[in-house]
Structure 1
Amino acid sequence: MANVCAVCAKGVVTGFQVSHSHIRTKRSWKPNLQSVRAIVNGSPTRIKVCTRCLRSGKVQRAI
């Protein structure tokens, strides 16, 4: 559960890396998570949030 956004639950996605000769190997795409202090239930807490949620204003950051 380390690579999951606390707001939108965006996580790791797996798939194949396909070469020019069509040799397929497993790979993963990880979300861009940032550890931020945010207001959760009225108190500041450190959570991992993706940058999309930070940019869109879904997270109220603590000072």
Structure 2
Amino acid sequence: MLYKAFLSPFPLEANVIIAIYLWESKFYANVSFFKLISRFFTRHLTFLVGKIEITVFYFFIP
């Protein structure tokens, strides 16, 4: 199965919330860890677990 989330440049709050939701729902990680990872991936973040690929596009909020 292929899961992809394409987020618009606005609003930023919505992008972060959706990105965190996808992260938590698929990988059960906490928000703090997500924020830590997001510092290194300001453009997009792609996960590949087995045959499940999740691509999250978002913008960095310092």
| Interval of TM-score (by shorter of Structure 1 and Structure 2) | under 0.3
Which of the pair is proportionally richer in helix? 2
Larger Rg: 1
- Compute the TM-score of the two structures, normalised by the length of structure 1: 0.23
RCO comparison, higher one (Cα < 8 Å, 6+):
2
TM-score, structure 2 normalization: 0.23
Task: Identify the structure with the greater strand proportion.
Answer: 1
